[in-house]
Amino acid sequence: NKKIVIAIDGHSSCGKSTVAKQLAKQLGYIYLDSGAMYRAVTLFALRHQLAGNGKVNEQALIARLDEITIEFRLNETTGENETFLNGANVEEEIRQLPVASHVSPVATIREVREAMVQQQQAMGKNKGIVMDGRDIGTVVFPDAELKIFMTASPEVRAQRRYDELKAKGQTMSFEDILKNVEDRDRIDSGRKESPLKQADDALILDNSYLNREEQLEWALTKAKERM
């Protein structure tokens, strides 16, 4: 059995991380959430007034990139990795709307992407990793043995995010969530630097009508064929 790299890209909130996490667990691989890194940079920008009201001060953020350290640490209780920004756990905060509504503009900045991609490639150099994001199969690991491109309709995705937040006791209107999902799709797909697009050799997984077990089963089969 050889170790492989599995790249999972796709639109916002279509369940990439769920599939990626389960796949990593089944295979005994590392799971890396590349979106969490862009979210952590965005939180740094918000905290230092380098972003706000939907705007980002690109030059000011670029000038301070070397002050940002992002790590993932295992939570022994949940068995999941959590995101740390300059030594502090920011896992909860990076999932909130202020970060969600500024992360796509932050992720258009070339210097930000270069810094993140370098770190992502270093974490995958020994293979045995599942990474999800927008440019994993196209830019970060163009030679990944398995590339999956996930998608689902915006309404299905917004509904899932809505249910997820509601289960956590947070209230946000369905319309606001749908708007955020559609805004991020538009910015992520339209940007000049590493736009979200399907790699030529990626397999499509449209999960609008597939449950979690079916998705995992499908992905596991594809992975094992390549090991």
Tell me the closest approach of the beta carbon of residue 133 to ligand C5P, in angstroms.
Answer: 2
Binding site for ligand C5P (CB under 6 A): 12, 34-35, 38-39, 103-104, 107, 133-136, 184, 188
d(CA 101, CA 39): 10
Between 188 and 216, whose beta carbon lies closer to ligand C5P? 188
Residue 184: name the closest of 209, 158, 212 by CA: 158
* Residue 194 assigned as binding residue: no
Between 91 and 225, whose beta carbon lies closer to ligand C5P? 91
Contacts of 98 (CB under 8 A, 6+ apart): 46
* Residue 15 assigned as binding residue: yes
* Residue 87 assigned as binding residue: no
Q: Which two tokens stand for residue 53?
A: 């009201």
Contacts of 221 (CB under 8 A, 6+ apart): none
Tell me the closest approach of the beta carbon of residue 204 to ligand C5P, in angstroms.
Answer: 18
* Residue 79 assigned as binding residue: no
* Residue 17 assigned as binding residue: yes
Tell me the closest approach of the beta carbon of residue 32 to ligand C5P, in angstroms.
Answer: 10
Between 164 and 227, whose beta carbon lies closer to ligand C5P? 164
Report the amino acid identity of residue 153.
S
Between 27 and 113, whose beta carbon lies closer to ligand C5P? 113
Tell me the closest approach of the beta carbon of residue 67 to ligand C5P, in angstroms.
Answer: 20
Annotated binding-site residues for ATP read: 10-18
Annotated binding-site residues read: 10-18
